[in-house]
Amino acid sequence: MSKALEGVKILDFTHVQSGPTCTQLLAWFGADVIKVERPGEGDATRGQLRDIPDVDSLYFTMLNHNKRSITLNTKSNKGKDVLVKLIQHCDVLVENFAPGALDRMGFSWERIQEINPRMILASIKGFGPGPYVDCKVYENVAQCTGGAASTTGDPNGIPMVTGAQIGDSGTGLHLALGIVTALFHREKSGRGQRVTAAMQDAVLNLCRVKLRDQQRLDRTQVLKEYPQYPEIEFGDAVPRAGNASGGGQPGAILKCKGWQKDPNAYIYFITQAAVWSDICKIIGEEGWITNPSYATPEARLPHLKMIFARIEEWTKTKTKFEAMDILNEFDIPCGPILSMKEISDDKSLRATGTVVEVDHPTRGKYLTVGNPIKLSDSPTEVTRSPLLGEHSGEILSILGYSATEIAQLKGERVV
């Protein structure tokens, strides 16, 4: 069975996390991803957070599956010649260098178009045009500047970043969509185009509901779904909402049986309006079904803390999985707080290929997150990440270099 992106050739100039997330997805959909790395050291993440000496780190292996690796010194003249051939050979160049690095290398967008007018140039930068356009950016900077940190965390605490890598992997996902859209457009136009995704923009896009709330706050000076309501006065900006959903379906994290010893013995519980009467019956508060102070979502808003405290009395008598089973019988939306340990052992995630075991020649077996996007006619098979420069010879020969020329380039440390 052919893969959805089979035949698409990606010149992968990405490093660290944001760009590699994008090209890994394209590789999973069947694109031939050729990762270009500096001779000797390669992507810095190969050596970061190592758990086994001299072996590619999990950080690298888990972001670079299904790719080929060529080493190339793109600042040498011979390296630039190889790069020109790679640009002619490929459909998309993806990069997340610091602003201006590609230009300094001598490969501006104008030059790339001259070499290959069908080429799509896809870039991730920290910021779009504006005062910070030249700044280098890592994950948490993007979370802070994209609005996530100011709206995340304890209502009385400092701004908080989240473990979900919305700045890096989130932007990589956005860029991947931009690339396939540009490829689709190229079918009609015959020309490549520039695709850019700024990390600040991607984070903000994922924080869309908070900009919604900012405007609701501006107009009404109150956010009744937030934990500050009704006791605390709102300021002029959307506050941190703790674990409240802050949306139309109030929710909270509640203790479950064993919470005193297990830091993850909790469940997220949503008091969806449609199942309010079932919730009341389960916790033994049938009177709330008709009591005007509790009967409607609007009436419940000032009492949410008390309501969740009462529901917690019930959840504390069940394990998070028992509570999940009981609540789901009544279609009450909820979810146990799963630890990474529990997720690694989850049989259904293994069965769907969302958690995959991969074998690596120097590392041995390890777990990774597979493709979360499932295509019925183009299933993903996760293969290991390449060793540094593992495919240099075969890629150079595809580009037309002879064995003697390849040996020479290797001897001169161009590759």
In terms of CB distance, is 75 or 374 closer to ligand CAO? Answer: 75
Cβ–Cβ under 8 Å, residues 388 and 69: yes
- Kindly state whether residue 152 participates in binding ligand CAO, applying the rule CB under 6 A: no
Cβ–Cβ under 8 Å, residues 310 and 293: no
* Residue window 95-134: x/- pattern of binding to ligand CAO, with contact defined by CB under 6 A: -xxx--x--xx------------------xxx--------
Residue 46 CB, nearest approach to ligand CAO (Å):
13
Name 224's Cβ contacts closer than 8 Å, sequence gap at least 6: 230, 301, 302
Cβ–Cβ under 8 Å, residues 125 and 99: yes
Q: Which of residues 154-213 bind ligand CAO (CB under 6 A)?
A: 168
Residue 100 CB, nearest approach to ligand CAO (Å):
7
Strand, helix or coil at 94? strand
Residue 406 CB, nearest approach to ligand CAO (Å):
17
Cβ–Cβ under 8 Å, residues 146 and 201: yes
In terms of CB distance, is 39 or 336 closer to ligand CAO? Answer: 39
In terms of CB distance, is 207 or 307 closer to ligand CAO? Answer: 207
Residue 97 CB, nearest approach to ligand CAO (Å):
4
- Kindly state whether residue 36 participates in binding ligand CAO, applying the rule CB under 6 A: yes
Cβ–Cβ under 8 Å, residues 30 and 379: no
Instruction: Give the interface size with ligand CAO as a residue count (CB under 6 A).
Output: 24
341 alpha carbon, distance to own chain's centre: 20
- Among the listed residues 132, 138, 268, 366, the single contact to ligand CAO using CB under 6 A: 138
Taking only Cα atoms into account, the Rg of the chain, rounded to an integer number of angstroms, comes to: 26
% helix, strand, coil for the chain, step of 5? 40, 15, 45
* Residue window 3-32: x/- pattern of binding to ligand CAO, with contact defined by CB under 6 A: -------------xxxx-------------
- Among the listed residues 139, 213, 225, 312, the single contact to ligand CAO using CB under 6 A: 139
Based on the number of CB atoms within 10 Å of its own CB, is 305 exposed (0-12), middle (13-18) or buried (19 or more)?
Answer: middle
Residue 333 CB, nearest approach to ligand CAO (Å):
33
Cβ–Cβ under 8 Å, residues 172 and 162: no
* Cα dihedral across residues 317, 319, 322, 327: positive or negative: positive
Please identify the residue of the shown chain whose CB is closest to the bound ligand CAO: 98
CB neighbourhood size of 340 (10 A): 10
Q: How wide is the angle at C-alpha 38 spanned by C-alphas 36 and 40, nearest 5°?
A: 130
In terms of CB distance, is 95 or 312 closer to ligand CAO? Answer: 95
Residue 211 CB, nearest approach to ligand CAO (Å):
23
Residue 180 CB, nearest approach to ligand CAO (Å):
19
Write b or e for each residue in 51-84: b if 16 or more Cβ atoms lie within 10 A of its Cβ, otherwise e.
eeeebbbbbbbbbbbbbbbbbbbbebeebbebbb
Q: Which stretch binds ligand CAO (CB under 6 A): 49-57, 90-98, 348-356, 396-404?
A: 90-98
Cβ–Cβ under 8 Å, residues 1 and 378: yes
In terms of CB distance, is 94 or 223 closer to ligand CAO? Answer: 94
Per annotation, catalytic residue among 43, 56, 91, 168 = 168
In terms of CB distance, is 27 or 244 closer to ligand CAO? Answer: 27
Q: Which of residues 64-83 bind ligand CAO (CB under 6 A)?
A: 72-75
Annotation marks residue 168 as catalytic? yes
CA within 13 Å, CB half, 265? 15
In terms of CB distance, is 100 or 159 closer to ligand CAO? Answer: 100
Residue numbers at the binding site for ligand CAO (CB under 6 A): 16-19, 36, 38, 72-75, 96-98, 101, 104-105, 124-126, 136-139, 168
Catalytic residues: 168
